[in-house]
Amino acid sequence: QVQLVQSGAEVKKPGASVKVSCKASGYTFIDSYMYWLRQAPGQGLEWVGWINLNSGDTKYAQKFQGRVTVTRDTSITTAYMELSSLISDDTAVYYCARRLSGCDLDFWGQGTLVTVSS
Amino acid sequence: EIVLTQSPGTLSLSPGERATLSCRASQSVKNNYLAWYQQKPGQAPRLLIYGASSRATGIPDRFSGSGSGTDFTLTISRLEPEDFAVYYCQQYGISPRTFGQGTKVEIK
């Protein structure tokens, strides 16, 4: 069965960076895109960026341009999202989600809480 | 970017009743690439509908999506206890993909 398992919760100080991982299993890794989204406490969903797991091409929301980097390691079927220059407003649950051609975000990771606090 | 406005903000209904949720876009959604997600507290969102009207794998047929252009609807024909949750619409036809603010379906 398809599973996306994310790394654990993180607490970071303002100005630091965080790197969240998303281990995929149960399907052909490179046949999909991996999306990253976030949800601030009590708020709605926001798209951060995506990566084509085959080519490595990426696209980021303009809001995060220059601060976010999404990568993947096909040998261990894992995608990563790194966010730098953290501020308190970056406190959120970060999700990875798979997208296959012809569908939308059909499987999601369990989420990773990133807390930014001095 | 496309702004999605969901209504109502909260829907108070009893099990067995019909729920109708609305999502209006600030401009036409390309190819009707509109999806609906369900989210329960402490859980990741779950894809219900994509392409405005296609049910995702494993989604019960009491969930249906309709609409085109700028006006879309999610209908739950008969609410089950497990359907009380927050529902989000999302467009993915034009980058950046954007979400509505959500509709909470609560038990009356």
- In this prediction, residue A49 carries a pLDDT of 97
Cα–Cα distance, A65 to B91 (Å, whole number): 21
* Mean pLDDT (whole number) for A26-38: 96
**Full DSSP string of A15-82:** T--EEEEEEEESS-GGGSEEEEEEE-TT--EEEEEEEETTT--EEE-GGGTTTEEEEEEGGGTEEEEE
* Mean pLDDT (whole number) for B15-36: 97
Cα–Cα distance, B72 to B24 (Å, whole number): 6
- In this prediction, residue A103 carries a pLDDT of 82
pLDDT at residue B88 greater than cutoff 90: yes
Do residues B43 and A108 make contact, with C-beta atoms less than 8 angstroms apart?
Answer: no
Tokens found for residue A31: 């046949």
pLDDT, one tens digit per residue, over B43-55 is: 999 999 999 999 9
pLDDT, one tens digit per residue, over A65-109 is: 999 999 999 999 999 999 999 999 999 999 999 998 888 899 999
Q: How confident is the model at residue A30 (pLDDT cuts 50, 70, 90)?
A: very high
A103 interfacial to chain B (CB closer than 8 Å): yes
pLDDT at residue A13 greater than cutoff 90: yes
Q: What distance in Å separates residue B92's CA from the closest CA in chain A? A: 8
- In this prediction, residue A101 carries a pLDDT of 82
- In this prediction, residue B53 carries a pLDDT of 97
Taking any CB pair shorter than 8 Å as contact, residues of chain B touching chain A are 33, 35, 37, 44-47, 50-51, 56-57, 88, 90, 92, 95-102
